[in-house]
């Protein structure tokens, strides 16, 4: 019944051999940092713009920040997982 639900996280192959090195881990960390910075800045700019456009009070701004922040954090986690999977993949090294 629940087999056709949209997957929220990309599948990670647990048994796949990974190439772990300092360079691969640093590359994954820096790629994640670069993309997550863009995601979080876009989320913050969206909250700022909508709060200013609609003249929202503080409680509404907090609710809006949670509504926009949850998908932004989810995207950040998925970005980190995908960057680690890509940088430690033996076919990419």
Residue 88 forms part of a structural domain: yes
What local confidence, expressed as pLDDT, does residue 12 receive? Answer: 62
Find out whether 62 and 11 touch, Cβ atoms under 8 Å: no
Q: How far apart are CA 30 and CA 13, in angstroms?
A: 22
Q: Who has greater pLDDT, 44 or 15?
A: 44
pLDDT digits (tens, 9 = 90+) for 27-73: 999 999 999 999 999 999 999 999 999 999 999 999 999 999 999 99
What confidence tier does 74 reach under pLDDT thresholds 50, 70, 90? very high
Question: Rg of the chain's alpha carbons, rounded to an integer?
Answer: 18
Q: Who has greater pLDDT, 47 or 91?
A: 47
Q: The whole model's pTM is what?
A: 0.81
Query: How many structural domains is the chain composed of?
Result: 1
Domain membership of residue 45 as a residue range: 22-92
Residue 17 forms part of a structural domain: no
Smallest CA-to-CA distance from 35 within 84, 75, 8 is with: 75
Residue 12 forms part of a structural domain: no
């Amino acid at each position: 019944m629940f087999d056709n639900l949209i997957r929220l996280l990309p599948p990670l192959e647990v048994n796949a051999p990974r190439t772990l090195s300092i360079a691969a881990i640093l590359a994954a960390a820096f790629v994640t940092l670069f993309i997550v910075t863009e995601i979080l800045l876009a989320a913050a700019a969206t909250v700022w713009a909508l709060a200013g456009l609609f003249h929202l009070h503080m409680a509404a701004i907090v609710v809006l920040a949670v509504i926009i922040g949850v998908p932004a954090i989810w995207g950040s986690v998925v970005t980190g997982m995908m960057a680690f999977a890509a940088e430690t993949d033996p076919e990419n090294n």
